[in-house]
Amino acid sequence: MEIPRQQQPLPVVHNAYTPKEAIEISSRTGAYKAHMRIDKTIVSSFMAGALLSFGGACYSVINTSTWLNENAPGVVRMFGALIFPFGLVVIVMTGADLCTGSFMYTSLAALHRRTSVLLMLRHWLITFFGNLAGALFVTCIIVGYGGVLSAPAYRTELLKIATTKAVTPEWHQIFLKAIGANWLVCLACFLACCAREFFSKVCAIWWPVFAFVLLGLDHVVANMFYIPMAIFLHHPDITVGYYIWKSMIPAALGNIVGGSVFVAFVYWYLFLIGESTEIIIDGDYYDTKSSPRSSVSSAVASSTEVPQHISKKDDGQMV
């Protein structure tokens, strides 16, 4: 009788980058973004603001449910939180520039001495106003004048959302909630860097963003849809100046802290500080000889040379 061959265990494939490799990829991404041409940064950030506003509009539609809001507010918020992340998924997968993601990417590149503080701040500034322009285009032109949310129920819900985000909370509360919001959003970007293929990236982005929306935290670019939309609908308590002081400034500052401190600095400290050897990604290493090595504390000692990689396997554009 033939003795059956002993079955061999199936090999286990770990199809993900390690946290150290993901931080290296994020650092390369930050260097690439900081040295991007200004005109491309403007267009890319405009697209990011527009795409995230589409997510905000979808959230507003789903959240317009009188019975659920009165009897099961957590359920309707969960449905909205399940839909909203598609905006960030499209932004990340198309390589668009969201300023809140830049707070993590370029901070990490500056800490890693792959770009200067001056270029980092330049990228923050350009992407912020580019996101604002894209968000206002969708808010006023597509949704506002296009009459997408012109039904009375939608108008009522939009005014209610704006009141919840800009009128009811105190300044410091918006700031603190904004820290949590971008902490989760930048974790989503970081987890996307851990993934190798499309579906895994989508899942990695979806759930941290789901959490920030479900908790009602404040994201400065997401609010660029909700609050201007309320101003467009003539909210009685919100003006442009009120929006800038009460919502935009604390949300932006909190998002900077959440992305640059709680994600970029923490994981740079855990995985990159004191690292003496280059971290290789799929056989590629970052060419430090041709990249700017300016100090984090010196904003003006920067090079305009775009950092080069040894090969084009991983240029950081898809994360």
User: Which pLDDT value is given to residue 5?
Assistant: 57
User: Which pLDDT value is given to residue 3?
Assistant: 54
Compute φ and ψ for 170, nearest 5 degrees.
Answer: -80, 165
**Mean local confidence (pLDDT), 186-199:** 95
Annotate 145-195 with DSSP letters as a single string: ITTTT-SHHHHHHHHHHHIIIIISS-HHHHHHHHHHHHHHHHHHHHHHHHB
> CA distances (Å), 301 to each of 20, 106, 121, 295, in order?
28, 16, 14, 7
Q: What does the pLDDT look like over 38-86, one tens digit per residue? A: 999 999 999 999 999 999 999 999 999 888 888 888 999 999 999 999 9
User: Which pLDDT value is given to residue 6?
Assistant: 60
Q: Cα angle at 59 between 56 and 134, to 5 degrees?
A: 10
User: Which pLDDT value is given to residue 241?
Assistant: 97
Residue 187's pLDDT band (cuts 50, 70, 90): very high
Domain-located, residue 40: yes
Q: What does the pLDDT look like over 229-260, one tens digit per residue? A: 999 999 999 999 999 999 999 999 999 999 99
Residue 4's pLDDT band (cuts 50, 70, 90): low
Do 118 and 299 touch, CB atoms closer than 8 A? yes
Domain-located, residue 95: yes
Cα–Cα distance between 148 and 73 in angstroms, integer? 24
**Mean local confidence (pLDDT), 273-297:** 66
Bridge partner residues of 16 (DSSP):
195
Q: What is the mean pLDDT of the chain?
A: 88
CATH number, domain with residue 57? 1.20.1080.10
User: Which pLDDT value is given to residue 289?
Assistant: 52
281-289, Cβ contacts within 8 angstroms, sequence gap of 24 or more: 281/17, 281/21, 281/24, 281/25, 281/28, 281/313, 281/314, 282/313, 282/314, 283/311, 283/313, 284/309, 284/310, 284/311, 284/313, 284/314, 285/310, 286/24, 286/27, 286/28, 286/31, 286/114
Alpha helices in the chain (DSSP H): 19-34, 38-63, 66-71, 73-83, 86-94, 99-111, 117-136, 152-162, 171-194, 198-214, 223-232, 240-243, 249-256, 266-271
Q: What does the pLDDT look like over 288-319, one tens digit per residue? A: 554 543 333 333 333 334 444 444 444 444 33
Q: Residue 3 — left, alpha, or beta (φ > 0 → left; ψ -120 to 50 → alpha)?
A: beta
User: Which pLDDT value is given to residue 296?
Assistant: 35
The two three-digit tokens of residue 84, written as one number: 């909203």
CB hemisphere CA count around 75 (13 angstroms): 8
Which amino acid, 87? G
Cα–Cα distance between 1 and 23 in angstroms, integer? 56
User: Which pLDDT value is given to residue 67?
Assistant: 84
Q: What does the pLDDT look like over 89-124, one tens digit per residue? A: 999 999 999 999 999 999 999 999 999 999 999 999
Domain-located, residue 194: yes
Q: What does the pLDDT look like over 126-136, one tens digit per residue? A: 999 999 999 99
Do 70 and 21 touch, CB atoms closer than 8 A? no
Domain-located, residue 120: yes
- Split into its structural domains, the chain has a count of 1
Domain-located, residue 92: yes
User: Which pLDDT value is given to residue 14?
Assistant: 67
**Contacts for 246 with CB less than 8 Å, ≥ 6 apart:** 166, 167, 171, 174
Quote the domain boundaries for residue 96.
19-271
User: Which pLDDT value is given to residue 265?
Assistant: 97
User: Which pLDDT value is given to residue 9?
Assistant: 64
